[in-house]
Chains A and B, each alone.
Chain A
Amino acid sequence: MIAGAADLTFLALSLPFVAACLSPVLFSLFGHRAAWLLALAPAVSFLHLAGFIAEVARGETVTGGYAWVPSYNLSFSWYIDGLALVFGLLITGIGALVVLYAGGYMKGHPQQGRFFSFLMMFMGAMLGLVVSDSFLMLFVFWELTSITSFLLIGFDHERPAARRAALQALLVTGGGGLFLLAGLLMIWNIADVTQMSLLLSYGDVVKASPYYLAALLLVLVGAFTKSAQFPFHVWLPNAMEAPTPVSAYLHSATMVKAGVYLLMRLYPAMGGTPVWEILLPVFGGGTLLTGALMALRQTDLKLMLAYTTVASLGLLVLLVGFGSPYAIEAAVLYLVGHSLFKGALFMVAGAIDHETGTRDLTRLGGLRRVMPVTFAAALLAALSMAGLPPFFGFLAKEEIYLALAAGNLRSILFTIVAIAGNALMFAAAFAVALKPFLGESRETPGHPHEAPALMWIGPLVLALAGLAAALVSTTFHAAISSPMASAVRGEATAIAVCPMPHVGLPLALSLATVLLGLAAYRLLDRLRAALARFFQALGPGPDQGFDEVLDALVGCAVKVTRFVQPGRLDIYLSVTFAAVAAVLLLPLFLWGEAPSVPAFAWPSLPELAMLLIAVIGLVAVLVAVDRLTAIVALGIQGFAVAVLFLLFGAPDLAFTQFMIETLSVVILALVMTRLRLHASDRQPAGQRLADGAVALGCGLGLTLILLKATEGVFDTALGDFFGSYSKVIAHGANVVNVIIVDFRGTDTLGEIAVVLAAGMAILALIRLGTAHKQSGK
């Protein structure tokens, strides 16, 4: 039965990919109603994963897998503990709702099938990422989420802004992924394990290693780029070019949390060191403040939410790195709460945009009457985001202040940062959830009415989940939050916080947050203007920096290309042969490997005659006035060498050489006539001297290397093998040919493929020249 259970889990994990393959067909058959069918895939995966809750809550883990590359000890294996399970549930659960929502949002779009295919692929990649046990699998899925995110952001590929945003996201997160790969390889070398589950118990080894800092920094670059930490955050707001379901799913609830997931996953192995507790809170805190301030500056609903997501991610990183016992619990609670309310709010923003045709806060108002269900969902989600009781966000906020508040300077500093960030996010939450719905009705491009059921099910369910989870907090903690916190901390942890306000320091800080937030909300317009002036004064941000870096890179590439490929064949040839001469000659003399002068023996008369002919051919090449004579003279030399091969007992080689020399002369002569060059080739004396030096260097180098090679004892093992087995195994007496077509046949197969490809390429070049000439006429 165990094998059966593992196979079922494998199926549940690969179900999104299956759905990705089916989605184009389903959508062409059923139109947007196919979303109902498609949502079944993540729903089934969700139920399968939910079946593990009891097991994981008992502190057990679900593992399984298949061998992938056994020789490198790589396996396709999964490891589902509390952390992976909660992420898996969020991915599949929110995934199912987003698919429904997208069905309504994308209704009538001609490319629906493609869109859902990308979306399901992303889901599969993200699911694979969080359950991966082996490093390599984690990396593969990590980059796969970057690639699918690229496809989704650039879905509307006819708009330049979407293309730029997609490219930026890919370069930042995909590039970060390469740092992660380097970091994982270092960890692999330090701990000598390739599996996360094994690494967790090697924390001491990893932290004591001299390479710990380097590995940590590399991993952090990967995590920070993915989770949009300052200054890598720029790609996330730009990613709002994607259709809103994508923003709700990838860029708030799931993908951007992959970096946080990684930090949590590695916490037992790498966390808790001074470097960790400095870098993470500083970057996280900075990101929190930047994101929250930037959020209030926006008037676009989606951009506002995007910047609050940046801020939330900063808060999560801050918490993971803070180091007090409650910080991890707070991070866990906030992560779950954030996924629920931010996903819901994004979907609300999309619904408003869909119905009214605008996302501009200053142009929206009074929608509460026409869109009551959407308003309800928005309000519920915003209350959770604001951290008011009895919503899940309140639990998280209580735990955050419990974790941060203490008497020392560091705690006070970060508590202030957290209060400021949370207050700003409080204001942003209500700006998104209240402003469009309250007040007077405004004139909008579209005529608003309630969004279709497909579009309000998602946000309403998520918002209600945020309420329900808090109301049954004891059960929820036991099943979800505590196992996750235990998995992150690496020791049993029980979360106790409940939605009933308790008098104490955290509550007081919460009150302060709420009051500050209310003030910010009241003064929103003035605050926005002030922030706009402030950021204006700061000058260009990292977004422009990205463009500049990219431009500089392209400019540099152009310069390098112009330098190394000036387009003059004579320069290429001179450099190539000068390099050959240097490679041959320098090692021989630098390391004193020059061959000794061999004993001289007079060659036989026929050999001497052939040598003489070869030399005559060479001299003729040098003194030849026109090119054709030089080519034929080169042929003379080649034939003489072929006869030498024959004299030394290599008839196959000689035969080939004869044919090659003949065809070379013919083809070279044809090319020469075709190029219509001057009949003679007169170079200035300096050029001739330089060319001569390079030629002599090459000749000398080859001669010396041949002498050197023949100096050593010749190992005849190969020759003996072929000689004695050619007839026996391969039924052929001509060893050379048997080697070519049988012993080394696969090699030859590759070579003739190259010959064919080269033939096609040369033919294309000749045709190209002809076409140019004809168009020139």
Chain B
Amino acid sequence: MNSPIFRTVAPFLTSLMLLFSLFVLLRGHNAPGGGFIGGLVAVAALAIYGAAWGVETVRRAIVVHPLSLAAFGLFLSCIAGFASAAAGVPFMTGLWTTVHLLGSAVALSTVMLFDLGVYLVVVGALLAIVLALEEEEDV
């Protein structure tokens, strides 16, 4: 797309949306949000960037193939599930721990890792489709 306004705005919009998607992902446990919604926001962000600056730019920006991203997400979610087995509790039991970081207590959990996996799967799978379709349009 060759609209100068769109091209100028796109990088800002994309960075803001990506940041927002991470925010949505992390707040999900206590407020509306979560991995799935966060992933969708991220896909929308990258799709905008792809429409403005071309698919190749996006591919370079995310370094790996979107499907690799999705596969890694699934891997993370599985790891999160199996972590409980190491602790001797049934599969997928959430494990929690609190880390003191820079003076504030941060709760970490396998559930968060799981949600991160969901996020990556959604981003990877949908981005793969969207990018392939946008690419086609360029041809």
Contacts and interface: CB of A to CB of B under 8 A. Distances in A.
A759 B92 contact: no
Contact of B109 (A674, A731, A737, A749): A731
Contacts of B134: 670
Interface in A720-777: 730-734, 736-738, 740-742, 745-746, 748-749, 752-753, 755-756, 758-760, 762-763, 766-767, 770
B41 A740 contact: no
B34 A737 contact: yes
Contacts of A208: none
A652 interface: yes
A660 B81 CA distance: 27
Interface in B68-113: 70-71, 73-74, 77-78, 81, 91-92, 94, 96, 107, 109, 111
A763 B132 contact: yes
Interface string B22-52: 0010001111111111001101100100000
Contacts of B29: 731-734, 737-738, 741
A11 interface: no
If over half of A's interface residues share one DSSP class (helix, strand or loop), that class is named, otherwise mixed; here it is helix
Contacts of B132: 762-763, 766-767
A670 B133 contact: yes
Nearest to A755: B125
B10 interface: no
B118 A741 contact: yes
B37 A659 contact: yes
Contacts, number: 144
B94 A762 contact: no
B19 interface: no
Interface string A628-667: 0000000000000000000000011001100110110011
Contacts of A745: 81, 92, 94, 111, 114
B111 A756 contact: no
Nearest to A738: B29
Interface residues of B, number: 49
B92 A746 contact: yes
Interface residues of A, number: 41
Interface in A670-692: 670-671, 673-674
Contacts of B36: 656, 740
A734 B121 CA distance: 21
B32 A655 contact: yes
A515 to B, nearest CB: 76
Contacts of B13: none
A232 B91 CA distance: 50
29 contacts: A655-B24, A660-B40, A663-B43, A666-B130, A670-B136, A670-B137, A674-B133, A737-B28, A740-B36, A741-B35, A741-B118, A742-B92, A742-B94, A742-B111, A745-B92, A745-B114, A748-B114, A749-B114, A752-B121, A752-B122, A755-B122, A755-B125, A756-B73, A756-B124, A758-B125, A759-B129, A763-B67, A763-B132, A766-B129
Interface of B: 24, 28-37, 40-41, 43-44, 47, 67, 70-71, 73-74, 77-78, 81, 91-92, 94, 96, 107, 109, 111, 114-115, 117-118, 121-122, 124-126, 128-130, 132-134, 136-137, 139
Given A651-B32, A746-B81, 18 more contacts: A670-B136, A671-B133, A731-B94, A733-B30, A736-B32, A737-B29, A737-B115, A740-B118, A741-B115, A748-B114, A749-B114, A752-B121, A756-B67, A756-B70, A756-B124, A758-B125, A759-B126, A766-B136
